[in-house]
Amino acid sequence: MCSRREADEWIALGWVKVNGQVAEMGVQVLPTDRIEVDKAAQGFQEQRVTILLHKPMGYVSGQAEDGHTPAVALINPRTHWRDDPSRNRFSPPQLRGLAPAGRLDIDSVGLLVLTQDGRVARQLIGEDSTVDKEYLVRVVYQAPGQAMPRHPSERSAPLQEIDERDPVSTNVQAVFPPELLDRLRHGLSLDGQPLKPAKVDWQNPEQLRFVLTEGKKRQIRRMCELVGLKVVGLKRIRIGRVTLGNLPVGQWRYLSSHEQF
């Protein structure tokens, strides 16, 4: 129904009852107890927004770090996509509690979801999330052993801006062994844990398409390093059933009421 933070708010506002009595914070309940939530909570949730941002390079997903600006700073009336099909209008309260549901590295671009709705956050980044995410990844081939695997906290070399219309200059596909492509799809481990199967195919001779159902830190770059590939550009184009589409770089729109991840 909600996130833990929202549940705390509902209890504090007196919207939760246990066996007909207004619940206090921390009250213990049993499977036989009846828990009721006031309809005001539903109205409160419906006012919460989810925003889709085309994150450009140079912005961090979450809190400001190392002097870099957080992506939420781009959410303002000037950057609202004029072709947004939603009827929502921007208001400052929509920034309260607006947080990224997932992350993109500072030099990765594409679809970033920011939400006030705990249900959306749980669906996208909860432990039991099954929502897949699709990426376009430009690579160069260095052969196994030349691309040294990095710890997830280490900074990789900066990426390039990625655009599907860029001309192909290097035919990586022609020299990359097919058996290593199979390993990218299934058979790699990170941090001592085997990775879930992934869909990995060539989009063009120097660009791979990844579809993942998990999101370990710097996962795609580290996967590629294990098979001798170096990522030079990364763009997220889809989360579940929601695509980046024609949303311009640095602009945002609302998740429409008829859209679902």
Q: Are 211 and 199 in contact (CB under 8 A)?
A: yes
Over residues 227-243, the mean pLDDT reads 96
Separation CA 9–CA 100 (nearest Å): 20
Dihedral pair phi/psi, residue 247, rounded to 5° = -60, 120
Q: Summarize pLDDT for 86-103 with one digit per residue, the tens.
A: 988 999 989 988 999 999
Q: How far is residue 73's CA from residue 119's CA, in Å, rounded to a whole number?
A: 23
Q: Which tens digits make up the pLDDT trace of 99-135?
A: 999 999 999 999 999 999 888 998 999 888 899 999 9
pLDDT at 162 over 70: no
In the beta sheet, which residues pair with residue 134?
A: 211, 238
Question: Which residue do the tokens 């763009």 mark?
Answer: 235
Which has the higher per-residue pLDDT, 19 or 155? 19
Check residue 39 and give its pLDDT.
Answer: 84
pLDDT score recorded for residue 87: 85
pLDDT (0 to 100) of residue 163 = 64
Tell me the whole-structure pTM to 2 decimals.
0.79
pLDDT at 69 over 70: yes
Q: What percent of the chain is predicted at pLDDT more than 70?
A: 89
The token pair that represents 101 in the structure block: 């549901």
